[in-house]
Structure 1
Amino acid sequence: MASFSPLVLSIAATSFVTFQCLFHFVSPCISARFCPGYRRLSPKHTVEWNSRTVSTFHALIVGLFCLYILLFDDAVNEDPVWGDPSLVKINVAITCGYLLSDMLLICYYWRAIGDKFFVIHHLAALYAYYYVLSIGMLPYFANFRLVAELSTPCVNQRWFFEVLGYPKKSLPNMVNGIAMTLSFFLVRIAVMPMYYSRMYAVYGTEPFYRVTFGGRCAWMGPSFCLDIMNVMWMHKMARGCISVLRSPGKVKVEKLQNGKVH
């Protein structure tokens, strides 16, 4: 019967505790010190601010680790179904710790950040990652999906600007909006041909048939559903970006003082 190694459990537990500490202690302390507007936020926005700060930190750590694995982990790249999953397991364990931490926060602060979609998303991701962490199957594809996290920092930054009162036509908002659209396209849309070409290449092979039925469902079903949503989000994001760039008016650089834009 498949089981989790002590190393995987230790990394996931450490990740969980670390992200809880970042939410409750590190983010409030740093945000209050370096962003005067943080102190003026409502309790609801304060909770979401800390949650998004943690989300950004997780996205950068995991996303950059993903790129390293894609570029330098020959075992996974040569055998995407059953290659040595050691590094991928570390990355996925970090993500599982984050997902569990985030679900706990969502449930505890439901009135502030409660969202059924995120709960379903987290549970589906944990189900899929179970097969990677316990059996070691599909390491390439599990790692590849996590590259999408690199678009998260810009998405969170958009919310930070909005809650702090930056106008949509402000220079920081414009620059971040363009970066958000480009990063979303690069790590979620442009990579689709590469991802599905590898999936097609292994489909029907002997390594593919060694994957359990549950593993195939956790691999293919969520991949198709998520990418359909990614295309829809990309279309909406691109329209919004083009609309702002074409709208009349000069782009101004606002200075944030005491939590207000002047």
Structure 2
Amino acid sequence: MEIKSYQNQAEYFVDHYLLADPFLPYTSVLVGIFLCKLVYDLTELFSSIHTKSYSALTKLKRTEWNNRGISTVHAIFISFMALYFVFFSDLFTDQRSLQGLMVFRSSPLSNFGLGVSVGYFLSDLGMIFWFYPSLGGLEYILHHSLSGIAVAYSLFSGEAQIYTYMVLLSEVTTPEINLRWYLDISGLKRSKAYLINGFAIVLAWLTARILLFIYMFYHVYIHYDQVVQMNTFGYLLVFVVPIALSVMNLMWFEKEEANI
């Protein structure tokens, strides 16, 4: 009976607080931070047992190895979420006009995905600052800050979530970039896998970080009558953040292409 009572209390707490709409954004951010720590520890444990080159790395390189494990898992998670909401879900389609303007729509699932992403950006920024500049320089701080602010605003305001997910879909390139680093640090730079990975990066980058951004700006153009009704700060984020990230993406794309 006592165990059943604790179970009922736990279920009540989860349903009425952790997963309740007013608390879901905060809960999802905490979940994102917790998952980052969990993935970091699991990456460290798995690599120390199954990867020979891991133990030969310096402490700082092992930290970066584990950190890239976090970014890879986050990228896979948020890419699937973004693919679903941008191309498969009907949440943001014009056919649902009776449910309000597209730029003001959200759902518990869309909020949860954005919250986990905010938790990731906060965790990764914390690690970048703590180990600065070993895990990334000013360009990484700028990228994560712009992304984190835009995602957090979209989460807590409920505005422009469709465009936030379009931008987050660019994270589909992160696993390939991290794999390239893993191959390099493991002494496999001359391998066939490294060459194939390079072409995969170019293809994914061109698709997700250049062509998709062009599509996003086109989508904003044809739905401008809705975008203009957003809060001023959200309106500016829809234009400023993608433009800034597009410039950075073009610079990084040229750099990656030169290294293949």
**TM-score normalised to structure 2 length:** 0.84
Q: Which residue of 2 aligns with 1:84?
A: 106
After superposition, residues 69-218 of structure 1 pair within 5 angstroms as 69-78=85-94, 79-110=101-132, 112-167=134-189, 169-203=190-224, 205=225, 207-218=226-237
Q: Residue 59 of structure 1: SS of its match in structure 2?
A: helix
Contact 1:76 1:85 in 2 (8 A): no
User: Could you tell me which residue of structure 1 aligns to residue 10 of structure 2?
Assistant: none
The verdict on how the C-alpha distance between 1:102 and 1:163 changes in structure 2, with shifts beyond 3 A counting, is same
The alignment partner of 1:211 has SS state of coil
CA spacing shift, 1:237–1:77, aligned 2, 3 Å: farther
Aligned partner of 1:39 in structure 2 is 55
Structure (1 or 2) with the greater helix fraction: 2
Task: Report what 1:256 is aligned to.
Answer: none
* DSSP 3-state at the match of 1:68: helix
* Superposition deviation, residue 222 in structure 1: 1.3
Amino acid at match of 2:48: A
d(CA) in 1 for partners of 2:133, 2:240: 31
Distance 2:128 2:119 in 1: 14
Q: Which residue of 1 aligns with 2:79?
A: 63
| Residues 85, 91 of structure 2: 8 Å contact kept | no
Identify if the C-alpha distance between structure 1 residues 106 and 236 changes in structure 2 by more than 3 Å, giving closer, same or farther.
closer
Deviation string 1:60-95 (CA, Å, 9 cap, x unpaired) is: 011111111122221213354122344322211110
> How far apart, CA to CA, are the structure 2 residues paired with 1:125 and 1:233?
16
Q: Distance in 2 between matches of 1:190 and 1:80?
A: 22
Cα RMSD for the two superposed structures: 1.8
Contact conserved, 2:228 with 2:235, CA < 8 A, in 1?
A: no
Higher relative contact order structure (alpha carbons within 8 Å, sequence separation ≥ 6): 1
Alpha-carbon distance in structure 2 between the residues aligned to 1:162 and 1:208: 44
Query: Do 2:29 and 2:118's aligned partners in 1 also have CA atoms closer than 8 Å?
Result: yes
Structure 2 residue runs without a partner (length 5+): 1-20, 95-100
**Unmatched segments (≥5 aa) in structure 1:** 242-262
Identity level (%): 24
TM-score with structure 1 setting the length = 0.83
Question: Partner residue of 2:34?
Answer: 17
1:6 to 7, 23, 35: 23
Map of 2:239 onto structure 1: 220
Query: Displacement of 1:187 after TM fit?
Result: 1.0
The Cα of 1:111 is off from its aligned counterpart by 5.5
